[in-house]
């Protein structure tokens, strides 16, 4: 087995006395699409946010591409990196949130180009060419000069995906990317994600879209109460779940 792209080992995360993650172990292989399922409050989104150090872990370690995220080895333990170093690490990790988080005063094209120009010091002309190509890829070639306020929720989320891809990440994180959308707009975002998965992009997706997980995911992980209760190949697990909590969750969402 090759070295996993993402390695999560013994990760704990607490907010005060509330332990949200209780020792999570997980590996994601390069090119793998993994969907994380589970009821609200199970720790799915927190785990995802720990992968790019938007949340500090209390114990354990997370590595992407063999590099520890947020920390460096120091003497007999770990020392948190400076913010500048953490930001540099995030350049290889794209993230799409529930809310689109677009800059309202920038056009779609400007929103997509800002990462390469500001974070990667990419020449503006090259960044805008990249932005135009990505917006065409997500079906928004005719909306490049529109501001977010003049785009539907589904279109804004597709701009957000293009923006995350603009920094040429090795890993894409999706935190319930369709949960804030009207039902009729969900399909257009999932279609972009399907096409992205088909290119071989490594994807870690927190979602309630069971049909999408069955169709696109290589593996499914089910979380409940801050732990992984079951994981396995998507089609097999979703068709024949073994753990009672997985069974109860799938019955509830169907």
Predicted local distance difference test score (pLDDT) of residue 36: 97
- Phi, psi (5° rounding) for residue 26? -160, 145
Predicted local distance difference test score (pLDDT) of residue 80: 87
Q: Are 111 and 147 in contact (CB under 8 A)?
A: no
Average pLDDT of each block of 10 consecutive residues along the chain (254 residues)? 90 95 97 95 95 93 93 83 87 89 95 88 92 95 96 94 93 93 90 94 95 94 96 94 92 79
DSSP string for residues in 57-110: -SEEEEEETTEESSEEEETTEEEEPPHHHHHHHHTTEEEE-SS----TTS-HHH
pTM greater than the 0.75 cutoff: yes
Cα gap 6→41, rounded to integer Å: 23
Reduce the DSSP state of residue 188 to 3 states and report it.
helix
Predicted local distance difference test score (pLDDT) of residue 142: 95
Cα gap 49→14, rounded to integer Å: 13
Q: 17: alpha, beta or left, given left = phi > 0 and alpha = psi -120 to 50? A: alpha
Predicted local distance difference test score (pLDDT) of residue 1: 58
Cα gap 27→166, rounded to integer Å: 25
């Amino acid at each position: 087995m090759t070295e996993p792209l993402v390695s999560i080992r013994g990760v704990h995360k607490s907010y005060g006395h509330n332990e949200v993650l209780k020792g999570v172990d997980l590996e994601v292989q390069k090119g793998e699409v993994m969907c994380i399922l589970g009821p609200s409050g199970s720790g799915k989104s927190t785990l995802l946010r720990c992968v790019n150090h938007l949340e500090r872990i209390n114990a354990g370690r997370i590595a992407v591409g063999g590099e520890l995220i947020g920390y460096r080895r120091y003497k007999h333990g770990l020392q948190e990196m400076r913010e500048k170093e953490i930001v540099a690490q995030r350049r290889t990790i794209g993230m799409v949130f529930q809310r689109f988080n677009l800059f309202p005063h920038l056009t779609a094209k400007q929103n997509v180009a800002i990462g390469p120009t500001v974070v990667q010091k990419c020449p503006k002309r090259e960044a805008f060419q990249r932005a135009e190509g990505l917006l065409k890829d997500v079906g928004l070639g005719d909306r490049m000069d529109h501001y977010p306020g003049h785009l539907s929720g589904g279109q804004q989320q597709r701009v957000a995906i293009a923006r995350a891809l603009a920094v040429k990440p090795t890993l894409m994180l999706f935190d319930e990317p369709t949960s804030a959308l009207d039902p009729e707009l969900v399909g257009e975002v999932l279609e972009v994600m399907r096409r992205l998965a088909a290119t071989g992009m490594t994807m870690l997706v927190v979602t309630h879209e069971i049909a999408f997980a069955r169709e696109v995911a290589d593996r499914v992980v089910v979380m409940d109460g801050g732990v992984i209760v079951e994981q396995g190949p998507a089609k097999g697990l979703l068709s024949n779940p073994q753990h009672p909590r997985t069974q109860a969750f799938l019955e509830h969402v169907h």
